[in-house]
Homo-oligomer: A and B are copies of this chain.
Amino acid sequence: MQLRDVSPADKAEPHRQPVSLRTVSDSLDRLYPLGDDDRAAIDALPFRTVDCPANHFLVREGQRPEYCAMLLSGYTCRHKLAANGLRQNVSFQIPGDVLDAQQLEFARADHNLQTITAATVALVMKQDVQQLVDRHPTIRHALWRGALIEASIFREWVLNVGRREGIARVAHVLCEFAVRRQAAKLGPPDRFELPMTQEQIADATGLTPVHVNRMMQALGALGVIERNKRQVTIVNWDRMREVADFDPAYLHIA
């Protein structure tokens, strides 16, 4: 956590391949139902894709990004750094997520955006997104809704980090990941491969990696999850919800 690599962005490979923004328009459509014209407009957006390795910085605090990034595959996180060198993750993103709708409004980034795994990111120029939402109020609405949901997730995280004990914090992060993953049709909620390291979970929960490790073992000992490498199986969802104090209402999933 604290003093480890926060080194300059590696150079990622710009890169052309037959990909589309389908993942993104599906995701936006789930936020707010789009019309055929809206989806067509998204498909027609000019963009380039970038393949990034794990731990690659997409945006750094203080930068003025010209592009709006959208996650086609892989996982990313937003984080901030405290003066004492500690890192705090404030959210995770999954494929289909628009990574910085907020950059349409703010010139300077107020946090970092970094890949967790290798990832493919679509970059669209800010002005093109601006034009898109100006012409397509429905898309604007979907983005607006997505931003409000993310704000709700931030509120839940403040609670998680501020008022829950260690085991609940870790369990809550697992529950949220499982549910969002399912909602995005990426797989079942009761068995999945965790993309993040225990250190990244520590930075999301305000704990140390050592303690996260112990809490995950404790969840195993309680019989609510089983683990094999990064694979997690939630054996008992009822007890898991209870231990995690997890109520998915804050995710505002249709």
Chain A interface residues (CB < 8 Å from chain B): 62, 78, 80, 82-84, 86-88, 90, 102, 105-106, 108, 110-111, 144-145, 147-148, 150-152, 154-159, 161-165, 168, 205-206, 242, 245, 249-250, 252
Q: What residues on B are CB-neighbors of A157 within 8 Å?
A: 154, 158
Contact residues in B for A148 (Cβ distance below 8 Å)? 102, 105-106, 147
Q: A84–B154 contact, CB under 8 A?
A: no
Chain B nearest CB from A2 CB (Å) reads 9
Q: Using Cβ atoms and an 8 Å threshold, which residues of chain B touch A164?
A: 82, 84, 86
**Copies of this chain assembled into the complex:** 2
Q: How far is the CA of A150 from the CA of B102 in the complex (A)?
A: 12
Question: Across the interface, which residues of B come within 8 angstroms of A252, CB to CB?
Answer: 106, 110
Residues from chain B with a CB closer than 8 A to the CB of A90 are: 154-155, 158-159
Q: Look across to chain B and name the residue whose beta carbon is closest to the beta carbon of A110.
A: B250
User: In this complex, what residue of B is CB-closest to A157?
Assistant: B158
* Nearest Cβ on chain B to A55's Cβ, whole angstroms: 19
CA distance in complex: A152, B109 (Å): 10
CB contacts (< 8 Å) of A102 on chain B: these are 148, 151-152
A150 CA / B151 CA spacing, docked (Å)? 8
Q: In the bound complex, what is the Cα–Cα distance between A111 and B84 (angstroms)?
A: 31
Q: Is the CB of B158 within 8 A of A84?
A: no
In the assembled complex, which residues on chain B have CB atoms less than 8 Å from the CB atom of A78? 155
Tell me the bound Cα distance from A156 to B164 in angstroms: 18
